[in-house]
Amino acid sequence: MPHTPAVDQPDTDAAIERALAELSGRRIAVLTGAGISTDSGIPDYRGEGAPRRTPMTAQKFLSDADARRRYWIGSHLGWRAFTSAVPNRGHEALARLERGGRVPGVITQNVDGLHERAGSTRVVELHGTMSRVRCTHCHRMFDRRDIAERIERDNPWIAVPDAVILGPDGDVAPEADMDFVVPDCPVCGGVLRPDVIFFGEFIPPERFHEAEEILRAGDALLVTGSSLVVNSGIRLVERARRRRIPVVIVNRGATKADARATVKIDGGTSEVLTRIADEFAPRA
């Protein structure tokens, strides 16, 4: 069924009503970005008030021991704060829609694991996850909690502040450059890194294929909390557009795909997703 071209939606309530009409009777593939986690205390990359950040590249991480040490200090402190974040109403609404059979899966650009903690069972993490660490030499995977215990054992001076300036990748900028024992692979002694996509790296083809499978299982695409600046999101939107299925975008502020959307809702993800879930997967 072809969809209606997007038009300006100055009235958020009217836009939501139109989105509900477009999504009615359809299975909804979901793509989420950092904006869905702001209500959990994790800041957006590019939204208003976002912290200034210099993304780590894989090349710099591997070639510069000082940069790697600074990254691990910030990543550890940030991860500790990251783990205290809890899913918000937006995450819970998507899990409810999945349980109700309306959402075949969630594709996320986030690394925070909040979708799984909210109860979503089919989640493709395009950019990896902060919950795992992998060796760049032998490629073994490790639970982040085990590596965190090693870090604190080898660096007993490290303080975990009650409040840190948390970044979307679960890292912070340490206030001081301190001595720090960088964890290495307990199996081969190789360089460890969080299992996330660094700036400039490509998403593994098999992972993007999993995302495409979720998209194919739906007959509408709901994008929420993403400005769609990253190419992977635009690629999924373009696939949906070529299939002529509705594309609904929920985001505060403009996105790179507004002109391709069937409906654009300029609003908060928690409020809008809760309203969609109340419509299509009401609580028992």
Catalytic residue among 127, 137, 139, 209: 127
Instruction: List, for residues 218-266, the tens digit of each pLDDT value.
Output: 999 999 999 999 899 999 999 999 999 999 999 999 999 999 999 999 9
Residue 84 has pLDDT above 90, yes or no: no
Phi, psi of 236, deg, nearest 5: -70, -40
Residue 167 has pLDDT above 90, yes or no: no
Average pLDDT over residues 133-150: 96
Q: Assign 159 a pLDDT band (cuts: 50, 70, 90).
A: low
Alpha-carbon span 204 to 134, nearest angstrom: 15
Tokens of 68: 């790697």
Q: What is the mean pLDDT of the chain?
A: 88
Q: Assign 77 a pLDDT band (cuts: 50, 70, 90).
A: confident
Average pLDDT over residues 189-202: 92
In this prediction, residue 137 carries a pLDDT of 96
In this prediction, residue 18 carries a pLDDT of 96
Q: Domains in the chain, start-ordered, CATH in brackets?
A: 12-280 (3.40.50.1220)
Residue 180 has pLDDT above 50, yes or no: yes
Tokens of 247: 């594309």
In this prediction, residue 259 carries a pLDDT of 95
Strands 192-196 and 128-135, how do they pair? antiparallel
Could you identify the residue written with the tokens 């999101």?
Answer: 233
CB 69 within 8 A of CB 98: no
* Sign of the CA dihedral with 41 first, then 45, 50, and 55 last: positive
Average pLDDT over residues 144-164: 80
Could you identify the residue written with the tokens 């009777």?
Answer: 25
The verdict on whether 127 is a catalytic residue reads yes
H helical segments located in the chain: 12-23, 58-63, 65-82, 89-99, 114-118, 144-154, 205-217, 231-242, 269-280
Q: Assign 160 a pLDDT band (cuts: 50, 70, 90).
A: low
Q: Assign 156 a pLDDT band (cuts: 50, 70, 90).
A: confident
Residue 123 has pLDDT above 60, yes or no: yes
| Cβ atoms < 10 Å from Cβ of 39 | 18
Instruction: List, for residues 55-64, the tens digit of each pLDDT value.
Output: 789 999 999 9
In this prediction, residue 49 carries a pLDDT of 47
In this prediction, residue 250 carries a pLDDT of 98
